[in-house]
Amino acid sequence: QISDPEACDQMYESLVRIHTNFYKNKYPRLRDTTFTGVTVEDCRTILATDILKQMEDMKKGTWKRLREKFSAKKPEEDSK
């Protein structure tokens, strides 16, 4: 037995509207963006592994990058 059938019907109708994307269809977005205003393509670009590596390199200090560059030996140098 349901104590309040009207409240139950309201909740059911609300869930149906959510399930059928009623509000997405009623209020379409002009651009497909996130809450920060970044588009899906921008998110994919940012999350790409190459971009992440470049960003990590940019975060490093100048001296740390130079030290890594000169301390790493190349295989060609070892064979000479």
- Angle at CA 46, nearest 5°, toward 41 and 49? 115
Measured between alpha carbons, how far is 65 from 52 in angstroms, rounded to an integer?
Answer: 16
Higher pLDDT, 19 or 66: 19
For residue 10, the model assigns a pLDDT of 94
Mean pLDDT computed over 63-68? 77
pTM of the model: 0.39
Q: Are 57 and 65 in contact (CB under 8 A)?
A: yes
Contact 2, 8 (CB under 8 A): yes
